[in-house]
A and B are shown apart, each in its own frame.
Chain A
Amino acid sequence: MKKLLSIAGLSVLLLALSCESLLIPGDPASDPVANFEFLWREVDQKYAYFDYKSVDWDSVYSEYRPQVRADMSEQELFDLLAAMLNLLRDGHVNLTSAFDRSRNWSWYLDYPPNFNSNVVYRNYLADGYRISGPLHHQIIDSVLYVYYASFASEISQANLDALMDAAQGLKGVIIDIRGNGGGSGANAYALASCFTADTLLYGWQRIKSGPGDDDFSPWSALRIYPRSGKRFDGQLVLLCNRNSYSAANLFAQMITALPHARLVGDQSGGGGGIPAFGELPNGWMYRFSATQTLTPQGEHTEGGIPVDIRVDMDPLDEAAGIDSIIESALELFRNS
């Protein structure tokens, strides 16, 4: 009997302990008010650019909180939260549900496109251009023209070797990141490191470290180190437009640190903050900038990197198949 009691006792204990989830408190309420409060507070405590953008988030609460109703539909709640987030004027801010993704694209839609991929592919890359991974390149007037459409496309070391081989003996290199909406900073770093023989400081970065407005980590130096393999030490021109965003913006920042490089076109679109992700009690995902990035001179890069030579696409040139910005870059090499 004693044995049976022991076994029975053990069995009951094991069964009781098999309900691991029961000891975790339930998920928070998921009504419109709870979701609004959660999102507003997360942004309030973790968003990095309130001061820079002069956004009074408390007054945003006062304006938007009364609009939240317990009986509002999911679509209505989504639209309200999206409108609230839109006040941050930040391309790194999104709210994502199964039925929609909010976004702020004013950072490039409010400006001239300054890029036409048909003109580039038909008249500059043209026939016989090389495809080294995501890097599409062609030699034009003894200058290597490189088009990189997205930093989300990974560049391998072999791709970089191919690019460096193609550039050897030429007058210079033009890298075109117009329309490049970003991706991985590691790709930006890998490409930039091909164009310096020295370690260069290109900026400063810090991250939110607590809920207070001024709770940030100390500034960390951002540096480019020379690539250990093949490099190109000649003249470099970077082409940007307002649609060069996030990692492309970071790449433009790196290139400004190179003494033998110039930026041509329109200033980059910005996106200097690295977005942090989260989810609401109802499962919707969000992201927003949680870091700040400065140039070595202490300027925020959130609004973009200014160019050295400002050039817009001429509509008449474009209609004739001429890219005014590429032509300006080529002219720099002809005159050098």
Chain B
Amino acid sequence: MFSDQKKSIAIFFLLLLFGSAVLYAGNGHFLFVQGGLYHAAQRDRSMSPLAYSGTGIAAGIAYEHRGHPNMEIFQLTLQSGNIRNRYGNTCAYQRFAFRNYTFYQKQDEFGKTLTFGWSNINAFHRYVNAAYGNYADRLNYYTLFGPAFRYAQPFRIGKLHFRVQLPADLQILGFYLRPSYISNSPSGYLDPENSAFMAWLRSIDIFVPSRDWHFSLNPELSLILGSGGRLSLTYQYQFVRIAKPEPFIQSKGTWYIGLVTKL
């Protein structure tokens, strides 16, 4: 049942991205294709007292619309690899996320810009402990909203145009689903009397700022191409801490090389 829910949400986000792309097609619209490597370190106390860390591959596709006054970014990312503890035990790790930013941009895109807005992130983390015969899976899901800012600074070296930018966000509202005390099934799904909706409703926990944390910093260096597109090097850093039912904490950085095409 949870697997079906995951698929449904994934399809929903894909449709949302596609719909957004159609809606905003025209000048000031950009498509990103990104590939890279991530390094993650995490501890899920429901699985182990030990930290697990490792490196894997990452891929992403994003759509950016620069209008007046808003600038919007939608990004889908997929990450896959292995994480291991200091004794060598491993977990297969995957992460799927959909994120969007809306910035209220008041200045010319080629000028120095500090703008504010909001962000939303929806993410699945799944990891499977190779040494556990039962209850080896852990699947975390969260949907969060929070304020965001973006600082951009264009500059030139000779005839080449560059831009550095730093979007960042801090999530303050939302909910999450986590495995129950022993099994991967969220707690609401352990009661056979619950309908699918009630099981979901009884499984979610509210994201409480200061008890729970989620923030990200995403510095990017871009070479502006003559076509209006750009070649970018991006580092996306994300920190997440979820307190219930047992603490999950993750610190992850992803290096992307991306090609941005103007639509």
A residues at B contact (CB < 8 Å): 2-3, 6-7, 10, 13-14, 17-18, 20-28, 38, 46, 207-211, 215, 217-218, 220-221, 274-283, 285, 287, 290-291
B42 within 8 A of A: yes
Q: Is the CB of B136 within 8 A of A277?
A: yes
Given the known inter-chain contacts A38-B49, A46-B181, please indicate yes or no for A13 contacting B39, CB distance below 8 A.
no
Stretch at the interface among B1-9, B73-81, B84-92, B142-150: B84-92
Instruction: List the B residue with the shortest CB-CB distance to A217.
Output: B190
Q: Smallest CB–CB gap between A81 and chain B, Å?
A: 15
Q: Is the CB of B49 within 8 A of A25?
A: no
Q: Is the CB of B193 within 8 A of A218?
A: yes
Q: Is the CB of A17 within 8 A of B217?
A: yes
Complex CA distance for A24 and B43, rounded to whole angstroms: 8
Q: Smallest CB–CB gap between A184 and chain B, Å?
A: 10
Q: Smallest CB–CB gap between B51 and chain A, Å?
A: 5
For A24, what are the chain B residues with a Cβ–Cβ distance below 8 Å?
41-43, 51, 53, 249-251
Q: Smallest CB–CB gap between B8 and chain A, Å?
A: 24
Q: Is the CB of B251 within 8 A of A207?
A: no
Complex CA distance for A2 and B40, rounded to whole angstroms: 33
Complex CA distance for A209 and B203, rounded to whole angstroms: 12
Q: Is the CB of A27 within 8 A of B49?
A: yes
Q: Smallest CB–CB gap between A47 and chain B, Å?
A: 11
For A285, what are the chain B residues with a Cβ–Cβ distance below 8 Å?
89, 131
Q: Smallest CB–CB gap between B138 and chain A, Å?
A: 12
B153 within 8 A of A: yes
B97 within 8 A of A: no
Given the known inter-chain contacts A17-B217, A17-B235, A209-B180, please indicate yes or no for A283 contacting B85, CB distance below 8 A.
yes
Taking a contact as CB atoms closer than 8 A, the residue among A2, A13, A277 that contacts B132 in the complex is A277
Instruction: List the B residue with the shortest CB-CB distance to A185.
Output: B134
Interface residues on B, range: 35 or more
Task: Kindly name the residue among A208, A276, A281 whose own CB sees the greatest number of chain B CB atoms within 10 A.
Answer: A276
For A208, what are the chain B residues with a Cβ–Cβ distance below 8 Å?
181-182
Q: Is the CB of B235 within 8 A of A207?
A: no
Taking a contact as CB atoms closer than 8 A, the residue among B87, B134, B153, B251 that contacts A276 in the complex is B134
B22 within 8 A of A: no
Q: Smallest CB–CB gap between A18 and chain B, Å?
A: 6
Complex CA distance for A28 and B132, rounded to whole angstroms: 21
Chain A contact residues: helix, strand, loop or mixed: mixed
Q: Is the CB of A17 within 8 A of B253?
A: yes
Complex CA distance for A23 and B235, rounded to whole angstroms: 16
For A27, what are the chain B residues with a Cβ–Cβ distance below 8 Å?
49-51, 85-86
Instruction: List the B residue with the shortest CB-CB distance to A21.
Output: B41
Complex CA distance for A266 and B180, rounded to whole angstroms: 37
B192 within 8 A of A: yes
Instruction: List the A residue with the shortest CB-CB distance to B254.
Output: A20
Taking a contact as CB atoms closer than 8 A, the residue among B49, B136, B192, B239 that contacts A279 in the complex is B49
For A291, what are the chain B residues with a Cβ–Cβ distance below 8 Å?
182
Instruction: List the B residue with the shortest CB-CB distance to A221.
Output: B192
Q: Is the CB of B251 within 8 A of A23?
A: yes
17 A-B pairs besides A218-B193, A279-B49, A279-B89 with CB distance below 8 A are A3-B155, A18-B39, A20-B251, A21-B41, A22-B251, A209-B180, A209-B187, A210-B181, A210-B245, A211-B181, A217-B190, A277-B129, A278-B48, A279-B50, A279-B85, A280-B49, A287-B133
For B155, what are the chain A residues with a Cβ–Cβ distance below 8 Å?
2-3, 6-7
Q: Smallest CB–CB gap between B87 and chain A, Å?
A: 3
Q: Smallest CB–CB gap between A307 and chain B, Å?
A: 27
B170 within 8 A of A: no
Given the known inter-chain contacts A17-B237, A18-B253, please indicate yes or no for A25 contacting B43, CB distance below 8 A.
yes
27 A-B interface contacts by CB (under 8 A): A13-B166, A18-B39, A18-B235, A23-B239, A24-B249, A27-B50, A27-B51, A27-B86, A207-B190, A209-B182, A210-B181, A215-B181, A217-B191, A218-B190, A218-B193, A274-B134, A275-B133, A275-B134, A277-B134, A277-B135, A279-B48, A279-B49, A279-B50, A283-B87, A283-B89, A285-B89, A287-B133
Given the known inter-chain contacts A10-B219, A24-B41, A283-B85, please indicate yes or no for A3 contacting B48, CB distance below 8 A.
no
Q: Is the CB of B253 within 8 A of A6?
A: no
Q: Smallest CB–CB gap between A160 and chain B, Å?
A: 24
Given the known inter-chain contacts A13-B219, A21-B41, A24-B42, please indicate yes or no for A46 contacting B182, CB distance below 8 A.
yes
Complex CA distance for A291 and B40, rounded to whole angstroms: 32
Q: Is the CB of B50 within 8 A of A218?
A: no
Instruction: List the A residue with the shortest CB-CB distance to B48.
Output: A279
Task: Kindly name the residue among A27, A287, A290 whose own CB sees the greatest number of chain B CB atoms within 10 A.
Answer: A27
Given the known inter-chain contacts A10-B164, A290-B182, please indicate yes or no for A21 contacting B235, CB distance below 8 A.
no
